[in-house]
Amino acid sequence: MRILVTGGNSSVSRYVIPLLSKDYEIITIGRRDCDINLDPNKSLADQLPDKVDIVIHTAAAFGGETDDEIYETEKFNVLNTMNLCFQLKKMNVKHFIHISSIFVHLKDTSPYSSIYSISKRHSEEIVRFCLKREEIPYTILRPSQLYGNDPSFISHHPFLYQIIDIASKGQNVSLYGKQGGSANYLHIKDFSEVLYRVVKNNVFGEYDCTTMTPNTYLEITRHVYELTNNPVTIEFVKDKKESGIVSKYNDTIYKKVNYYPKVSIKDGLSEILNVKQIEY
């Protein structure tokens, strides 16, 4: 079987491809350093392989604040996804897997709502519409905040990696509110294993992928101090609101693939601290 992975250099791709390549022929496509490097001057249809069995769509834009950044994010996440969906029938694709985000559940009134969450929600609507129209089975996976020792995660979760950097140096960490806030950090190794099993077991449908319990920033900070043998020095800025997004836990996908996340937040932090080349 042949699998086409879009966004061949994405964080998800770099972790899941080694798992998949043991059983499948993998073809990567993206802007650079892929088997197929997309030429913006050519149509997508002319650059795709003739036949693949599965497409895993990991390519995504993460947004910005300017008019151009907002426009490009919507164009990349929605229109490019639509264009790809139009080509699936021609490639005889039997399973389309779309990597979305837990942020699609954010309400418009949420302070964390952004063009990224909006465009990912739109992309899901496009996948549903196009693939129902083409009668192609699909899977939508919505991971919570993915993290790991790959430097690409730093730009997506600057607060987490700032805590790691400051606490690892034994410096004082400032947390907002009385508890510091919480988030659902899911290790990329766990998500990659889920994705691998979705492919292996032909799991179709739409699923959230989160951690069972939220990770508090207080807990994270204490772990880093402990792992680096530094004294705990934490200041709470109580006049500011706690930061972070906590997602509702749902284990449906884990039951489907017979796998539950195994990497604890402490083990994940230890792995990051042991990678010296990460620059914060």
pLDDT in tens, 32-58: 889 999 998 899 989 999 899 999 999
Cα(34)–Cα(23) distance, rounded to whole angstroms? 19
pLDDT at site 244: 75
Find all residues with CB under 8 Å of 162, minimum gap 6, and list them: 280
pLDDT at site 278: 53
Cα(192)–Cα(17) distance, rounded to whole angstroms? 9
pLDDT at site 279: 55
Cα(7)–Cα(23) distance, rounded to whole angstroms? 20
Q: In a 10 Å sphere around its CB, with 0-12 CB exposed, 13-18 middle and 19+ buried, how is residue 232 labelled?
A: middle
pLDDT at site 125: 97
Closest by Cα among 200, 185, 154, 180 to 242:
180
Q: Please report the sign of the dihedral spanned by the C-alpha atoms of residue 161, residue 164, residue 170, residue 176.
A: positive
Structure tokens that stand for 280 in this block: 């914060």
pLDDT tens digits, the chain, 280 residues: what are they?
999 999 988 889 999 999 999 999 999 999 888 999 999 889 998 999 989 999 999 999 888 889 999 999 999 999 999 999 999 999 999 999 999 999 999 988 888 889 999 999 999 999 999 999 999 999 999 999 999 998 889 988 899 999 999 999 999 999 988 778 889 999 999 999 999 999 999 999 999 999 988 899 999 999 999 999 999 999 988 878 877 777 889 999 999 999 999 999 999 999 999 875 455 4
pLDDT at site 240: 81
pLDDT at site 15: 94
What domains does the chain contain, in order, with CATH numbers? 1-143 (3.40.50.720)
